[in-house]
Chains A and B, each alone.
Chain A
Amino acid sequence: MTVHFKQDEPDNSNRLDRMKQGVLGKPLPRIEGLAKVTGTAPYAAEYPIENCTEGVLVTATITRGEVTSIDHESVLTMPGVIAVVDNEKLCTRAAQGTANEAPMQGPKQVCYWGQPIALVVAETFEQARDAAKHLKVDYREEEGAPIDPGAVEPEEQEDETVHQGDLAHAMADAAHSVDVTYTTRGHASAAMEPHAAIAQWDGDKLTVYAALQMLNYNITELADALDMEEENIRLISRFVGGGFGSKLGISEEVVAAALAAKQIGRPVRVVQSRQQVFQTVMRRSETTQRLRLAADENGKLTGFGHEALVSNLPGEDFAEPVLQSSHFLYDGENRELMLKVARIHRMTAGSVRAPGEAVGMPALEGAMDVLAEKAGLDPVELRLRNIPEKDPEEDLPFSSHKLAECLKQGAEAFGWDKGPRKPRQRREGEWWIGTGMASAARVHNIAEAKARVTLKADGTALVETDMTDIGTGTYTILAQIVGEMLGLDPERVLVELGDTRHPRGPGSGGSWGAASIGSAVYVACKAIREELAAKTGTSEEELELREGEAGTGEALTDLLEGEDLAREGHYEPGDIEDDYTASGFGAFFAEVRVNHYTGETRVDRMLGAFGFGRVLNAKTARSQCIGGITWSIGVALTEALEFDPRDGHLVNCDLAEYHVPVHRDVPDLEVVLVEERDGAASPIQAKGIGELGMCGGAAAIANAIYNACGARIYDYPMTPDRVLEAMPE
C-alpha cells in the first residue's frame, strides 16, 4: 500500500525528537563500512559475470568535425578482438543531472577533443585497449572551433538576470564600495571509482551494473538512449565509489556497454580509464566573476552586483549556476545579477560537487573581505550586519536561517580575534601567518521520493528503494530513521538500495538525497505506526516504540501476529517550495602560512560551523563537512583543469597532475554542527549537507593569505606563482 504525502505546510512539531529509540542523530559508523574496507562490497565493474567481454572506448583526436570513416578491419584481425561498435545510438557526452532523457548521441559528429566515437570489444581488457589505440579513424575537421570562453560572444541566461533599483547609482553614492573581478578554473570530480558498466541481455531484457548516482533518472535516460521500455531495464548500483556530480546522468560507457552486448550477444564490461573519466565525463566550468558591493558608512550594503561568465558546449542546457546563493545571501536593495554562457568546444561542463556556490561563494566572500577592510569592520561583523530579514529579491521569508549563529559559534570555537585587522603582522621564520573567514551558503534542494518499509513478522525491518549511497551514509541514516520511528535497534533494519526493482528514490545529488529519501521512509514508517497504534488502541501520536516493544508493553512481534507489515512511502515536495527561501548556511575560519620566498601556502587550522537542519547522523554529517572543507582547500590552492589553448583538450587528466589536496595539505579540521530544525525544508526537518562544506571555504583561505602576507589575489587557485606575483616586496 502506498501512502502519499505532499508537504504544503511547515511541520514544526519536532515529532522525531519525541520518539523513544533515541538513535537518530547518533554518530553511528556506516553500516557498509566493513564490507567496503575489506573489499567485499562490489562496485559496478566487480560483479563476476560469466562469459563477459571487455570494451574500451575510442575517443576523437580532433576538436570539431565529422568522423568520415572507421576502419573496422584495422583491428578485427588483432588477437582477441570481437567487434567494433560505432552505432548511431552511442552517446558522445554524459547526461546532465536530472536530464531524464538521453544525452547527445551520434558518434559521427565530433564536438570536443576526446569525445567517444566508438567502442572496441575484445576477450581481454588488454586486447581491447590495444585495439582501441590502433583503430583507424578518418575525420573531416572543421577548423577554428572556439575554445577560449573569452573569445566568443556569450549568451545571457535570462532567468538568472536581476535588475533591481539602480546599482550604478548606489556604487557612486556609497561610503565604501568594491568593484573586483575574480576568476576560478575548471574542476574535476575526481571520484575514486572510475565510470564503469557491465551490460547483460536476456532476450529483450537488459541488466546493467553501473556507477551511477540517480537510478530513477538514469533508467529513463538509458531507455531513451536505447529506444526501449523502462520495464525491460534493470539498473544496479549498490555501491558507488564517489560521484560528486560526475555520475548524476548516464555516461558514455553505460550506453556503449548495452549496445555492444546486444551486438555481440555476450555481456560486455566497459571501464573508462582515469584519463577518459577526466576527459569525457564532466568538468566544472571556469568562471570570470565581477562583484560590485556598495555600502553605507556603517557597512550596510546598499547595492549588490554579481555577474558571471561560464562556458559549455553548444547544445548543453547546463550553465554553472554561479549566482545561486548570491540572490539571497546579503542585503542590498539595488541589485544587478547576470549569468552568461560562452559556447566553446571543450568537453561538457556539468555538475561537480556544489555546482554554483562552489565557485560563486569564493568570489563573493573574497569581495566581502575587501569591503570589510575598506569599511574598517571586522569581517564577521560586516556579515552579521548584512543578513537579510527576508529574501531580498523574492520577498519571501526564509524557512530557517542560521547564518548569524554559525558566524558567532564558529568565531567563538576558532578563537577569532575581533581586533583590528592588518596584513603582514605575524611572521615565523620564512612564513607569514594570518587568518581569514567567509560565510557558507548552499540552496536547499528537495525531490520526490519513494521507499518501501516492511516491518517483518520477526521484528526486523527492511527498507527498499532505488536510492543510491555514494559513500555518504545513506544506508546508515535510513536504518536510523526506521529504528527511531519503529523502535528498533538500527542493526535490526536491513537497507537495500541501488536497484531499479525497488521503488524510485530521488537519487543522490544536489545534497537532496538524505532529506528526500529520509522523508519517504518517514512517511512509510508513520503509516506503519498508525497500523500498530490501532492494534494497541492508542493514536499514532501517542504510540511509543522502543527496543521492539510498544510503551503499553506488547512486543512488536506479538502485535504483528506472524504477518509482515509493509508500506510504501511517497513523499512529494509541495507548494511550500514557493512560500519560502530555504538554504543551508555556515561560516568558515582558517589560519594559513605563506612562505615569503616561495609563495607556498599551507593551511594550519580550519573550522566550519554549519546549520543544515536536523542532523541525522553526527558522524556521517561531520564526514560530509570535512570532505567539503577539504575540497575548499583544493579550490583555494591547487585544483585547476588545464586546457590546451589550440585544440581545447584537457591536459592534466590524472590524479598525479590534477592536484586534489593530499593528507599533508589537510590539517585537523574542526566542525561545529549548529542545532537547527527546519520544518519547511522537509518532513524530517533536515536540509542538504553534502555540498555546504565547500561553499565559501576557499575564500576563508584566500582572505587568510591576504591577512598573512598582504597578497590580495583574485584568481583561484592561489598557486605559488600567483602568490609571489601579488606579494608586496
Chain B
Amino acid sequence: MRPFQYTRAPSLTEASNLTAGEDALAIAGGTNLLDLMKLQVETPGQLADINRLGFADIEATDDGGLRLGALATNTDTAVHPRVRSDYPVLSRAILAGATQQLRNKATNGGNLCQRTRCFYFTNIDQPCNKREPGSGCGAIDGIAKLHAILGTSNQCIATYPGDMAVALSALGAAVEISGEKGERSVPVRDFHLLPGDTPWIENVLEAGEIITGIVLPAPVGGTQIYRKVRERSSYAFALVSVAAIIELADGKFSRADLAFGGLAHKPWFDPRIGECLLGQPPSAALFEKAADILLEDARGYGENDFKIPLTRRTLHAVLAQVTGDAA
C-alpha cells in the first residue's frame, strides 16, 4: 500500500471535487479497493470516503419502480422485501456472489465498479495493459480459464466478474450518476465498456463522477432465474452466468430478457436473443438457435474454449427450466 490522503467527503459536491483529480478514487465498502491497494494494483494518492453521503436508502419511484441507493449494502438490497418479491433475479444474483461477510460490507455502487479478477491484472510484476497501458496482456498466452469469449480485443480479454450487474442488465435498470457537470442516468447495459484499445477504461464514469443510485423499472413479473455455473458451490466467480426473465403466453415466449456473466468485459446483453425467442413456442431447436446467435462471434483462447459449449448448455438449461421443456 502506498501512503495516501484520506478524506471523508462531507457532501456530494465535495466528493466530486475530491475525485476529479488524476489519482483520486472514491471508497465505499472497500472490499475490492483495499485488496487492490495492498497489492499496489491501485495506488490512489487521494481517497474520498463516500460512506457518509447518505444515499443508502431503497425506496419506491413514482412509476412503481425501485431506487437502490448506491451505498445500500449488497445484503440489504438482496433481502429487501420489494427486491425479493418484485425483482427476484436481482436478489438471487447478489446472493450468488462473494460471501455473506463480503456482501454485508459491499455496496451497490462499488459492486458495479468492481474490477476484473484476471491474475495478471492483480500481480504488479506481470504485464497487463489494463493496469499498465502498453505493457502487454499476460493472459492472452497465459492462464485464461476465467477469461472472456465475447467482445475481446487483442489488448485485453478480461471479464467483468460481478453477478449483480448481470441481473440489472436483464432487468433494464439504469445507473444514476452525479458529477461536476450535474446528474445523468445511464442504462446498465451501456454502463460498462468493452476493452478495445483502452482496457483501463471500464465504464462510462468520468473523473469526479459518483454513482448515487440504481433505478429499477416497474416490476415486469415473469419467471426470474439467476443461474451461476462455478467449480465450487459458493465463494467463486462465475464461469458463466445467466440472468433470465421469461414469460410464456399461449405456449409462446411473451417475454425473454436475458443477460450473461463471465463472458465479456461487461454483462452481456444481446437484443437479438429476445427477438429470436419472442412469439415462438419453446423447443430444443429454438434454444439452439438462440445459442447460435449469442455465440456467433465467440472466440476462445485455449484454456477458456470450454466456455463456448458451456454457455450453450447453460442457456439451454435455463430455458428448459422455465418452459418445463427438458428437450
A contact residues, total (Cβ < 8 Å): 39
Query: Which residues of B lie under 8 Å from residue A126 when comparing CB positions?
Result: 1
Selected contact of B317 from candidates A79, A430, A643, A657, CB within 8 Å: A430
Q: Considering the chains assembled together, what is the distance between the CA atoms of A79 and B1 in angstroms?
A: 13
Indicate if the CB atoms of B142 and A721 lie closer than 8 Å. Answer: no
Indicate if the CB atoms of A600 and B117 lie closer than 8 Å. Answer: no
Indicate if the CB atoms of A719 and B117 lie closer than 8 Å. Answer: no
Q: Which of A644-695 contact B (CB under 8 A)?
A: 644-646, 649, 651-652, 656-657, 659, 661-665
Q: Which of B10-54 contact A (CB under 8 A)?
A: 38-40
Indicate if the CB atoms of A719 and B231 lie closer than 8 Å. Answer: yes
Q: A430-B317, A597-B316, A724-B309 are in contact. Are A652 and B3 (CB under 8 A)?
A: no
Indicate if the CB atoms of B231 and A598 lie closer than 8 Å. Answer: no
Q: Considering the chains assembled together, what is the distance between the CA atoms of A126 and B124 in angstroms?
A: 17
A193 in the interface (beta carbon within 8 A): no
Closest to A79 in B: B3
B62 in the interface (beta carbon within 8 A): no
Q: Which of A702-729 contact B (CB under 8 A)?
A: 717, 719-721, 724-725
Indicate if the CB atoms of A598 and B314 lie closer than 8 Å. Answer: yes
Q: Considering the chains assembled together, what is the distance between the CA atoms of A640 and B239 in angstroms?
A: 16
CB distance from B182 to the nearest CB of A (A): 38
Q: Considering the chains assembled together, what is the distance between the CA atoms of A597 and B3 in angstroms?
A: 49
Q: Considering the chains assembled together, what is the distance between the CA atoms of A651 and B309 in angstroms?
A: 25
Indicate if the CB atoms of A661 and B229 lie closer than 8 Å. Answer: no
Closest to B39 in A: A275
Indicate if the CB atoms of B235 and A597 lie closer than 8 Å. Answer: no
Query: Which residues of B lie under 8 Å from residue A430 when comparing CB positions?
Result: 317, 321
Q: Which of B38, B39, B232 has the most CB of A within 10 A?
A: B232
A116 in the interface (beta carbon within 8 A): no
Q: Which of B112-143 contact A (CB under 8 A)?
A: 117, 119, 123-126, 138, 141-143
Q: A130-B3, A598-B313 are in contact. Are A651 and B119 (CB under 8 A)?
A: yes
Query: Which residues of B lie under 8 Å from residue A646 when comparing CB positions?
Result: 141-142
Indicate if the CB atoms of B119 and A662 lie closer than 8 Å. Answer: no
Indicate if the CB atoms of B230 and A645 lie closer than 8 Å. Answer: no
Indicate if the CB atoms of A662 and B310 lie closer than 8 Å. Answer: no
Indicate if the CB atoms of B235 and A656 lie closer than 8 Å. Answer: yes
A642 in the interface (beta carbon within 8 A): yes
B234 in the interface (beta carbon within 8 A): yes
Query: Which residues of A lie under 8 Å from residue B316 when comparing CB positions?
Result: 597
**Secondary structure dominating the interface of A:** loop
Contact with B along A582-612 (1 / 0, CB 8 A): 0000000000000111111010000000000
B220 in the interface (beta carbon within 8 A): no
Selected contact of A721 from candidates B40, B123, B143, B310, CB within 8 Å: B310
Q: Considering the chains assembled together, what is the distance between the CA atoms of A721 and B2 in angstroms?
A: 40
Query: Which residues of B lie under 8 Å from residue A600 when comparing CB positions?
Result: 229-231, 233
Q: Considering the chains assembled together, what is the distance between the CA atoms of A645 and B301 in angstroms?
A: 14
Closest to A600 in B: B229
Query: Which residues of A lie under 8 Å from residue B145 when comparing CB positions?
Result: 642, 721
Q: Which of A606-653 contact B (CB under 8 A)?
A: 637-638, 642-646, 649, 651-652
Closest to B317 in A: A597
Closest to A633 in B: B232
Selected contact of A657 from candidates B117, B230, B310, B313, CB within 8 Å: B117
Q: A645-B141, A657-B117 are in contact. Are A638 and B231 (CB under 8 A)?
A: yes
Q: Which of B125, B314, B316 has the most CB of A within 10 A?
A: B125
Indicate if the CB atoms of A657 and B233 lie closer than 8 Å. Answer: no
Indicate if the CB atoms of B232 and A637 lie closer than 8 Å. Answer: yes
B306 in the interface (beta carbon within 8 A): yes
A133 in the interface (beta carbon within 8 A): yes
Q: Considering the chains assembled together, what is the distance between the CA atoms of A397 and B306 in angstroms?
A: 50
CB distance from A603 to the nearest CB of B (A): 10
Indicate if the CB atoms of B119 and A652 lie closer than 8 Å. Answer: yes
Q: Considering the chains assembled together, what is the distance between the CA atoms of A77 and B321 in angstroms?
A: 63
Contacts A130-B1, A430-B317, A642-B145 known; 15 new A-B pairs at CB < 8 A: A129-B1, A130-B40, A133-B40, A597-B316, A598-B229, A643-B143, A644-B138, A645-B142, A646-B141, A652-B119, A659-B231, A659-B232, A662-B235, A663-B234, A724-B306
Task: Give residues in B with beta carbon < 8 Å to A.
Answer: 1-3, 38-40, 117, 119, 123-126, 138, 141-143, 145, 229-236, 239, 306, 309-310, 313-314, 316-317, 321
Task: Give residues in A with beta carbon < 8 Å to B.
Answer: 61, 79, 126, 129-130, 133, 275, 430, 595-600, 602, 637-638, 642-646, 649, 651-652, 656-657, 659, 661-665, 717, 719-721, 724-725
What are 28 A-to-B residue pairs whose CB atoms are below 8 Å? A129-B1, A130-B3, A597-B314, A598-B313, A600-B229, A637-B232, A642-B143, A644-B126, A644-B138, A645-B142, A645-B143, A651-B123, A651-B142, A651-B143, A656-B235, A657-B119, A659-B236, A662-B233, A663-B234, A665-B234, A720-B229, A720-B310, A721-B145, A721-B239, A721-B310, A724-B306, A724-B313, A725-B306
